Structure formats: structure tokens, C-alpha cells
Structure 1
Amino acid sequence: MIPAERQHVILSCLAERDVVSIADLMDRLGVSHMTVRRDIQALEGAGRVSSVTGGVRLSRRLAQELPHLQKMAINTAQKSAVSRVAAALVEDGMVIYLDAGTTLLELARRIADRRDLTVVTNDLVICAFLSEHSGCTLYHSGGLVERANQSCVGDAASEALARFNYDIAFISTSSWTLSGLSSPSEAKAAVKRVAVRQARRSVLVSDSTKYGAVAAVNILALSALDTIVTDDRIDAGQARALRETGAEVILADSAPDPDIKEG
């Protein structure tokens, strides 16, 4: 069987079961472990599947992102973990871009006491928070308002973001795989691409629950990113594959944050 035929068999198996083990695929295809892994990597690179320990599953389809208020209530431990690690990357006097999203709102809270920073964002909630609670130099992109996610997107926002040179662009996403970042919204794509293009260092900040999801519009390949900050609940095989892309991968400890008191 040629690779395309084997990969078709793998996808057919996954149409019948949520997860298929590498051992089962070796028996079904009559090939070695290494050959199966190569086929899985090819499918994962195309965004069709996601590796799990000892096997593979189909990538999840993301048709629509959750509204901002719903996002605030989910995966709070992971968001706290990755925002804590991402905030530690911010050095004195930096110009940084904060992409839209609740994880980067957590990052904004962690750097609010840094008066020496220049922060540019397209997120309305982040801008309002920093305007009230920080002493940083603060810019908002403006642009077409996406009400559900409380952010600005489109050409006007992209043109505004292109005026700056960022030391770090912190990028968010609701869906990413080994093939890169995707979104249900084409209007978000240009904003993220401009921010990455203008940055000396680009950092994806996203918890592990979003890995393995694919949306309609491709935004960025992982090769466009310098660093990936996610949490330690990501599958070990996935973390290994991410490192093989050449990006620095930082896994945040998702244990409860000692700086945040419950109750």
C-alpha cells in the first residue's frame, strides 16, 4: 500500500471509532510502528487527526467560537497556568501586543502593575481593564467590533496594528493543531497575521483543551511562531510533535495557582 492508501484506511478506522491505537493500525495495515507514526504525522500536519498516547483521534471541528462570557467560566486552571508563564516572558520596557481572548485577559491582569510597558490590543475588555487598573502606555486598534468576543477585527484593526513594532506578540486561538492555528472567522486572520509579522517574537498562548480542534479558516502555520505556551495536560506525544516543528514549547504547571485564593 502506498502512503495515501494507508492514510485513507486510518481515516476510515477513525470514522468507526473515536480513538484507534497504533497497535491496531499496525495489524490492520501490516506495517511497522514507524510507518504508522509517519502516516499519522502526515495526517496531523494536514489538520485531519491528532495524536494521543499510543494512538490517534480525528481532529475536532470548531464551527463557532463561544461568546466571551461563556469562555470566562471554562478551563480556568489552565488559563491561569499559561498566563502566569506567559507573563514571565515580559521584560522591562517592552512593547507588547495582546490578542483578543480570556486567556490574554488573565495575562493582562498579571502585568497590570508594570508601568514601564507599552501595550497594544484589539480586545475591548483587556483595554478597559488596563485603562482602569494599570499605568502602562495603552493603545487599542479600533476596527470592526465583534460583539460576541468583545474585540475588533478586519482591515481597520489590522492597519492600526501594523503601525507598531512589537517585542512580543501574544497570540490566542480557540483551535490549533500541528498544522497551525485556524478560526471560524476570516476577519480574525489578518489581525493575527499582522501582529506576528510586526513582532520580534511571537508567542501562542493557549490551553491544551483547544489543541486538536480545526476551524474553517487557516490563520497561521506553527512555523510562524517562535514560542508555544500551553499547559502540562497536553498529551506527551503531542508535545513532542510540537517541539519537532522547531518552536520553543513551554508547558505550564496546571496545578492551582498559589497566588490565587479560592472562596
Structure 2
Amino acid sequence: MAMTPEERRKAIIDRVVVAGTVQLDALAEQLGVSRMTIHRDLDLLESRGLLRKQRGAATAESSLLFESNFHYRQQIETEEKRALARAAGGLILPGSVVMIDDSTTALALAEDIDPGEPVTIITNSAAAFDRLRGRPNLQLILTGGVYNDTLQGFYGLVCEQALGKLRADHAFVSASSVVGTALFHQDQEVVRAKRAMMASAKCRTLLLTPSKFGTLALNHMADLAEFDRILIAKPLDEGTVAALRQAGISFELV
């Protein structure tokens, strides 16, 4: 039985998320449709922000303007994110108010929080909300705002205003790209939400996986010096470590 168009597009997304990049001809052959049909499917999926169309291929990998699909990002650097979660979780004391951003790096922290600790979590991440809801000792605040299914988060004026009216002991955020001592992200609405968290927290902690040092993104988000604590997952190449230390940036490798 032939797939419906939506079933076929879901199959395309599944293949791209697993492989990272898939050739157009391979998709046409695997799904039993013409190249033109695949072209039209990719155009639609790209317009929804679910993948990026390249010459003769589709990719889930990020670019200057395109943030990778959330489900794709969830599958990469998983051990590094767990290491960051363990280190960051040790900073959260009982009774703390904590802000967690929409990143898959911070999502690992949400999954690692001790279910027995009385903590208040504020987040714009739908994925973090799903992981945390129902825990008896946890007070959970979801910012609201305009929902972005590709990023699994809430953004825009409602989100930023909600964050601006709250205060937290900690904000845990990540970024798409590190260039020198500056952080960047592809989406300016995501940048504004992260900046709002940073402005509302007493202590700002940055969580970075090694791949962030080899990626470029369009919008300046912050400078490393704006953070009280920077946690970077191993392994980080010696040249990057030396450059950060030479710039006077204090950080911890975990």
C-alpha cells in the first residue's frame, strides 16, 4: 500500500535525522517515488524548518541560518551532555529556583535533576516540561509563548515578558556556536529568550559540548565573560583550550 504524502514526509525526516544527510536519489529509490516528488517534499519540509535542502541532498546539520532539528540534536554528543548534566546538577541546592533553556544540552540536566529534591524549574522547553511534569517535589513553570515544533520550545513576546517578571538562583543555557570568546545562535528569537533568562538569574552557567567550537551561526548571543561559570565537555582540543585560557576565560572541563 502506497504511503500518504504525510507518511512519506515523516519517513524522509526519520531518515535524515538518523543519517544526518541523505542523498535525494536515495530517498526517491527507497520511497518509490520520483525525484520531482522528493524535491517538492523537501521544499515543504524545509519551509517548516524540519531539514535543510542542499544540492542533491537533505541534511539535518546546522548552518549559519538553520538550527538542527531537535530530534537530530538529541542523538548527538549524548555522553558529553550527560557529563555536563552531572556537573551542572551538583550546583543545584534544595529549594533553588532554576531556569533551563530550550537546548538539548540543558534537557540532559532536566533529566538528571534529583526527583527527591524540592526545586522550582522555569523553562521555555516543551521537551524539558514533558520530562519534569508530575514530579511531586518539583514546582514547574512553563513560560508560554509562540510554540516552535522544530525547536520544541516557546518563544516571542509572551515568553520574554514571563521570564522578565521572574527571578532565579541559576540559569543554565547553551549556544549553537562559539567563535573566539563570543557565542552565536541561528535564531534571533531564541537569542532573546536566552538573554531574558540570563538577565533574570543570579548565577549564569553556560553548558557547551565540543562541537559548538566548530560551528557557525548568524546572531551574536553573548560573550563568554558574561557567565559566572562555564562548563565544557571533554574532549576539547588543546588549541581551543589554550586560546580560551590566553583570553582570560575561566572554565571547567567535565
Fold equivalence (TM over 0.5):
yes
Deviation string 1:48-105 (CA, Å, 9 cap, x unpaired) is xxxxxxxxxxxx9533111111111111111111111111111121111000121211
Quote how far apart the aligned CAs of 1:179 are: 3.2
In the alignment, which residue of structure 1 is the partner of 2:172?
A: 170
Question: Match for 1:196 among 183, 195, 198?
Answer: 198
Say if 1:243 and 1:195 are closer, same or farther in 2 by CA, change over 3 A.
farther
One-letter amino acid of the counterpart of residue 209, structure 1: S
Unaligned regions of 5+ residues in structure 1, if any? 1-59, 253-263
In the alignment, which residue of structure 1 is the partner of 2:225?
A: 223
Question: Match for 2:105 among 103, 106, 112?
Answer: 103
Map 1:154-165 → 2, pairs under 5 A? 154-165=156-167
Percent of counterpart pairs with the same letter?
A: 27
Query: Runs of 4 or more off by more than 6 Å in structure 1?
Result: none
One-letter amino acid of the counterpart of residue 229, structure 1: L
Map 1:31-50 → 2, pairs under 5 A? none
Say if 1:134 and 1:206 are closer, same or farther in 2 by CA, change over 3 A.
farther
Cα separation, 2, equivalents of 1:146 and 1:106: 20
Question: Match for 2:115 among 110, 113, 116?
Answer: 113
Deviates more, 1:145-154 or 1:172-181: 172-181
Quote how far apart the aligned CAs of 1:243 are: 3.8
One-letter amino acid of the counterpart of residue 178, structure 1: G
Question: Match for 2:154 among 143, 152, 155?
Answer: 152
8 Å contact kept, 1:95–1:119: yes
Deviation string 1:112-159 (CA, Å, 9 cap, x unpaired) is 414411110000010111113453111011011111010011221111
Question: Match for 1:77 among 67, 72, 79?
Answer: 79
Say if 1:92 and 1:247 are closer, same or farther in 2 by CA, change over 3 A.
farther
Say if 1:214 and 1:79 are closer, same or farther in 2 by CA, change over 3 A.
same
Aligned-pair Cα RMSD in Å: 1.8
In the alignment, which residue of structure 1 is the partner of 2:3?
A: none
Say if 1:143 and 1:69 are closer, same or farther in 2 by CA, change over 3 A.
same
Where relative contact order (Cα < 8 A, 6+ residues apart) is larger, the structure is 1
One-letter amino acid of the counterpart of residue 236, structure 1: E
Question: Match for 2:209 among 193, 207, 210?
Answer: 207
Q: TM-score, normalized by length of structure 2?
A: 0.71
8 Å contact kept, 2:81–2:105: yes
Secondary structure of 2:225's counterpart equals helix
Cα separation, 1, equivalents of 2:204 and 2:246: 17
Unaligned regions of 5+ residues in structure 2, if any? 1-61
In the alignment, which residue of structure 2 is the partner of 1:186?
A: 188
Q: TM-score, normalized by length of structure 1?
A: 0.69
Cα separation, 2, equivalents of 1:193 and 1:152: 14
Say if 1:76 and 1:147 are closer, same or farther in 2 by CA, change over 3 A.
same
Secondary structure of 1:214's counterpart equals coil
Quote how far apart the aligned CAs of 1:245 are: 4.7
